[in-house]
Chain A
Amino acid sequence: MVDATMKSDAAVARGRQSSSLQRTFQRKSTIAFLMTLPLILLIAVLVIYPAFYAVHLATLNKTMERYVGFSNFLFLFKRETFWMVVWQSCIFAITAVIFKAIIGFIVAHLVHNIPSKGQRKWRGMLLIPWVIPPAMSTLAWLWLFDPSYSAFNWIFERVGISPIPWLGDVYWARFCVILVNVWIGAPFFMIMYLAALKSVPEQLYEAAKIDGANWWQTMRFVTIPMMRNIIAITALFSTIVTFANFDIVRVLTRGDPLDQTHVFATWAFRVGIEGGDIPLGASVSLFMVPILTIGAIFILRDIVKRGNEA
């Protein structure tokens, strides 16, 4: 009897304790859930849902009344412009990212080399292309590439080089969109690499110097391994952004001459919004997904790795 009351007392005490614990736990998680609710709603309604809706749209006919399965995709596969867009998007993204990475790497080293009191000024000046909204700075390039008043051609004329048809010729136009992309994106690489360079401990360089390492060996065995993660993340991130780029091609060439400079985003806009064929436009933009997914998986892996190291 006594034993039983004691037991039940203990049980009640334990019960009270656990229920109050449970309540606080519930309260905390409820508050947390409410705090994240707007975020969850935003992502669900305006990102996740449209992403799947795009897949649904891609299976409809032009008037969006009839389910047509894969025929939008099959139609695209038969069009020459589509394959051109695939090529152009890949060449555009790969070339631009490689040059951005190289220029960013070089400039980061140059800035890192000079005395630290001047570094701030140089860094600030060199980041300006990244700060100007791309649509506006591309207008400046459009004017520099103007067919009759190109300021570059004016200089070329003075030194005896024949004028270049910047945006009139297919290959030059492709070169121009890549050049502008490199111009806008290289400063971003520079800033990231500079941050990475600053985070390499000075002792490592001292140790390398004592061991008699030359410039190349220091670079190969100290700098690059220490920066590897940031190099990878920046390059992957930039690949995604460049591959999905819209502003530069749209302002500079609008896909001309003869649709030869279109990338996925601008062609999807041309077909889907301007051409009024939303399902076909959605199908075009969906072709970006595989590359974006690959990029995202690698970035995520690198970031998780980084998190584990820290």
Chain B
Amino acid sequence: MTAAASTGAVAVHPKYGSMSSDRRWALRWSYFFLILFAIFFLTPPVYMLITSLKTSQEISAITNPWWVYNPTLDNYRELLTSNQYLRFFLNSSIVSVSVVTITMLISVPAAFALSRMKFWGSTLLGTGVFLTYLIPETLLFIPLFKMMAVFNDLTGISLINRWWVLLILYPTLTVPFCTWIMIGYFASIPKELDEAALIDGATWTQTLTKIFIPVALPGLIAATIFAFTVSWAQFLYPLAFTTSESQLVLPVGIITTLIKGDVFNWGQIMTGALLGAAPPLIIYAFLMDYYIAGLTAGATKG
């Protein structure tokens, strides 16, 4: 018996060895191609960083564009002391934080009601929310633009060229998806939990704030990150609805003010873009798992 096992092991061993060498080669090739793809994916951000450390003279000189000979932080110093750029940054921050708050206030109660309190039309509304998420902003910006103009004619309140018009527009992009993923998270909470709470005399509001929100906290964080990154990155609405420099948010501000006519100050443009990309990147670096959970939730939670 023992003999049989040991001969078996001897017979198997060479084959196992060759398989493991196959596996080692597969691994080497995997790393090789991963490095190639990583170069492809990381070249633009790295090149942004390289350019942001250069002076205008070095940029316009015919030297190796992939190397910094005289690194300087002048571009950063200049932008971070420029009132204009700080204004864009502040506008973006205010808009994004407010939109996240508005989104959560609308979508969390709605998701709770749609996942737990069945009422007439709730299934239809759930599907409707998902379909709304599929309607792109590029379809709606022209009628919305006209609606704002009509609203101005009727009430005298001008919405166009005010940064806070974005607080009305951005929730159309964030609320449907956040509601949709929160429905998924709430639906995964066992029914016994809220039934027990209701039997103990908790009201629906208490069930939501004391049980659902704490238990579904990971989903809540994922939805918050989604809402923030979407509002931070949105480009079409601010481009169409705001024009005065004091009303611009970052993406539009960088493109319209740092590019003056045909003069491209690339050092500053790259610095501005890199600093503008920093908040989502920092959030991503620290909360990567939640970020990815939010990303995959759309398709895997349905």
Contacts and interface: CB of A to CB of B under 8 A. Distances in A.
Nearest to B131: A296
Interface string B260-295: 000010100110011011001100110010011001
A207 B155 CA distance: 70
A129 B47 CA distance: 13
Contacts of B169: 46
A307 B115 CA distance: 14
Contact of A47 (B37, B135, B302): B135
B57 interface: no
Interface residues of B, number: 96
B251 A273 contact: no
Contact of A233 (B141, B252, B299): B299
B12 to A, nearest CB: 15
A76 interface: no
Interface in B187-240: 204, 229, 232-233, 235-236, 239-240
How big is the A interface, by class? 35 or more
Interface in A116-162: 120, 122-137, 139-141, 143-144, 146, 149, 151, 154-155
Nearest to A131: B284
Contacts of B274: 136
B55 interface: no
A247 interface: yes
Contact of B112 (A35, A64, A129, A299): A35
B142 A282 contact: yes
Given A46-B169, A244-B139, A188 B295 contact: yes
B44 interface: yes
Contacts of A240: 134, 136
Interface stretch (B2-10, B81-89, B120-128): B120-128
A137 B274 CA distance: 8
A39 interface: yes
B41 A183 contact: yes
Q: Is the interface of B mostly helix, strand, loop or mixed?
A: helix
Given A128-B42, A230-B300, A50 B295 contact: no
Contacts of A137: 44-45, 273, 277
A42 B139 contact: no
A246 B235 CA distance: 9
A29 B44 contact: no
Given A32-B122, A36-B114, A240-B136, 17 more contacts: A31-B113, A32-B118, A35-B110, A36-B109, A36-B122, A39-B107, A43-B175, A53-B146, A122-B34, A125-B38, A126-B37, A131-B280, A134-B235, A139-B254, A192-B299, A250-B236, A273-B141
Interface of A: 28-29, 31-33, 35-36, 38-40, 42-43, 46-47, 49-51, 53-54, 57, 64, 103, 106-107, 110-111, 113-115, 120, 122-137, 139-141, 143-144, 146, 149, 151, 154-155, 183, 186-188, 191-192, 195, 199, 230, 233-234, 237, 240-241, 244-247, 250-251, 264-265, 268-269, 272-273, 278, 281-282, 285-286, 288-289, 292, 295-296, 299-300, 303, 306-307
